[in-house]
Amino acid sequence: MTYSVSGSYFESCNCDAICPCRMTDGVVGGRSTYGTCFGAMAWRIEDGHVGELDVSGLGVALLLRYDDDEPGSPWTIALRVDAAGDESQRAANDELRVHEDPFDWELSGNCAFASRFAYASE
């Protein structure tokens, strides 16, 4: 399936900057600042399509929890898709089996990063 999406990207968590638990340039991260990291990564798609489906104007968030002392995989992740989509966009969301939630953000963490993105399949 072909896709092309571009827009704004934002991430934030409760760690002190720069987030010590994240992998950077292939180097595995260390312990989080407070033992458990709670964070969110969000994409606002300003212009985009997935196949023939227009996804412009929608948002997606990846919510995460990282526990330093949890055995095995320390990550818990949930994907949330903007509920503002039209009928065809919501149907595609059902295919992905992710949750729809309204987006209501309040910045309260210490570590935050914002940038632009553009992803496309070949």
Q: How confident is the model at residue 47 (pLDDT cuts 50, 70, 90)?
A: very high
Q: Which residues pair with 113 in a beta bridge?
A: 11
Average pLDDT, the chain: 76
Higher pLDDT, 23 or 93: 23
CB 77 within 8 A of CB 64: yes
Q: Which residues pair with 116 in a beta bridge?
A: 8
Domain locations in the chain as residue ranges? 3-115
pLDDT of residue 2: 86
Lowest-pLDDT choice from 29-38, 51-60, 103-112, 113-122: 103-112
pLDDT of residue 30: 80
> Is 112 a residue whose pLDDT tops 80?
no
Phi-psi domain of 74 (left: phi exceeds 0; alpha: psi -120 through 50; beta: other) = alpha
